[in-house]
Amino acid sequence: MSEAVRFDRVSKSFGTLALDDVSLTVESGEVVVLLGRSGSGKSTLLRHVDGLQRPTSGTVTVLGTDVGRAGGGELRRLRRRIGFVFQQFHLIGSLTVLENVCSGALGRLRGPRLGLLSYPKRLRHEALDELDRVGLADRALQRADTLSGGQQQRVAVARALLQRPEILLADEPVASLDPESSAQVMRLIREISAERRLTVLCSLHQLDLALSWGDRIVGLRAGRTVLDAPAAGLDRERAMELYAGVAAEPAAVG
Ligand SMILES: Nc1ncnc2c1ncn2[C@@H]1O[C@H](COP(=O)(O)OP(=O)(O)OP(=O)(O)O)[C@@H](O)[C@H]1O
């Protein structure tokens, strides 16, 4: 197996420590799910992978690039190899689904594009293939804002795939979806990772989804990795300890 991501004693301070001495190696093709309470450092960890943030100390190495030391050009080249899926899908609602997917290839093209026909035919075909992969080829010419949330997130996955990424970062990709759509999106990401040997780092708040679709669970608490274990066979109670100490909702009075 080759190594896709390595964190070597990484700390990140914003005044408070968001990451505290994190060491982690992710192999190519692994699906790693990050779990932890709000504010435990999941998004900060993801942002170090594509160099949106740089470590205060320690080393982050991604696809052979030392992210903390990389110059602007090197970072841009690295980012082309990394796809990102967000909680908010960030589609352009007034454009067709297909054009939204095509925009995933902008990093591979020269110059801006306006309108579906401004993309090379070969690329439109590639985009349609990716839409087919996420089960939405029949929606290609529909406006993106006419799709359900789950469908829009699948379009966002297709758009990220058109970038031909080696790593996919997903920051709470199902946080705004219903349980069925959430499972559908996670299953898709998992299957595509297996088909293409795509490395996935995904933050989630849903323990059951993490256990179902992750290869490996990394648990963070106050910026430290307190759990790093294969998802298969991981005791649910043990994973729940990540959330221990969260104040219960006050009981309704009346
Ligand atoms: N740009 C920033 N400036 C200052 N503090 C930040 C910044 N980004 C993150 N932090 C702090 O770092 C800590 C970790 O935040 P982070 O967003 O990584 O947590 P998280 O686990 O992703 O939370 P959530 O589940 O709510 O998204 C928090 O205390 C947060 O306030």
Buried b (16+ CB within 10 A) or exposed e, 188-206: bbbebbeeeebbbbbbbeb
Helix extents (H) in the chain = 42-49, 72-80, 97-102, 121-133, 149-162, 179-196, 207-213, 236-240
- Same-domain pairing of 142 and 194: no
Domain boundary among 164, 191, 217: 164
Residue 38 CA to ligand 1 center (angstroms) comes to 8
Same domain, yes or no: 177 and 61:
yes
- Choice between 81 and 245, residue whose per-residue pLDDT is larger: 81
Same domain as 170, residue 68 = yes
Q: How many helices (H) and strands (E) does the chain have?
A: 8, 10
AA letter at 6: R
Q: Is the pLDDT of residue 251 over 60?
A: no
- The whole-number pLDDT of residue 1 equals 66
Residue 239 lies in a domain: yes
Is 86 a member of any domain?
no
Average pLDDT over every residue of 19-40? 97
Q: Which of 68, 12, 98, 63 is nearest to 168 (CA)?
A: 63
**Atom number in ligand 1 closest to CA 12:** 12
pTM for this structure? 0.92
Q: To the nearest whole percent, how much of the chain has pLDDT over 90?
A: 83
Half-sphere exposure of residue 70: CA atoms within 13 angstroms, side-chain side = 25
Q: What is the mean pLDDT of the chain?
A: 92
Query: Are residues 119 and 172 part of one domain?
Result: no
Q: What percent of the chain has pLDDT over 70?
A: 94
**Ligand 1 atom at minimal distance to the Cα of residue 220:** 21
Q: Which residues line ligand 1 (CB under 6 A)?
A: 14, 16, 18, 36, 38-44
Which domain covers residue 127, as residue numbers? 92-164
Q: Is residue 250 part of a domain?
A: no
**Of the candidate ranges 53-62, 81-90, 235-244, the one whose mean pLDDT is the lowest:** 235-244
Residue with CA nearest ligand 1 atom 24: 38
Among 7, 44, 86, 202, name the best residue to mutate to test ligand 1's pocket (greatest count of ligand atoms within 8 A of Cβ). Answer: 44
Averaged pLDDT for residues 214-240: 93
Residues 51 and 153 grouped into a single domain: no
Instruction: Note whether residue 211 is domain-resident.
Output: yes
How many domains, in total, are found in the chain? 2
Output the pLDDT for position 115.
75
Give this complex's ipTM: 0.97
* Chain position carrying tokens 């035919």: 121
Return d(Cα 111, Cα 124) in angstroms, integer: 17
Same-domain pairing of 42 and 137: no
Give the pLDDT of residue 75: 95
pLDDT at 254 over 60: no
- 254 within some domain: no
What confidence category does residue 202 fall into, taking pLDDT thresholds of 50, 70 and 90?
very high
By the 8 A CB rule, do 143 and 95 touch? yes
Same domain, 119 and 74: no
Pair 160, 171 in one domain? no
Asked if pLDDT for residue 246 goes beyond 80, the answer is no
- Tell whether 51 and 177 lie within a shared domain: yes
- Calpha distance 6→181 (Å, rounded): 31
- Say which CATH number the domain at 224 has: 3.40.50.300
Q: Are strands 17-27 and 3-13 parallel, antiparallel or unpaired?
A: antiparallel
Domain end position, chosen among 164, 188, 210: 164
Longest pairwise C-alpha distance within the chain = 64
The verdict on residue 87 lying in a domain is: no
144 and 206, same domain (yes or no): no
Residue 245 has pLDDT above 80, yes or no: no
Average pLDDT over residues 96-122: 82
pLDDT for 253 equals 39
Residues 74 and 170 in one domain: yes
State which of 7, 43, 88, 172 you would mutate to test the pocket of ligand 1, scoring each by most atoms of that ligand within 8 A of its C-beta: 43
Q: Are residues 73 and 139 in the same domain?
A: no
Domain presence at residue 136: yes
Q: Strand, helix or coil at 196?
A: helix
> Which of 144, 164, 184 corresponds to the end of one domain?
164
Residues 214-222: what's their mean pLDDT?
A: 96
198 within some domain: yes
What are the pLDDT digits (tens) for 111-161? 667 777 778 899 999 999 999 999 999 999 999 999 999 999 999 999 999
C-alpha of residue 46 to centroid of ligand 1, in Å: 11
Say how many Å lie between the CA of residue 232 and the centre of ligand 1. Answer: 29
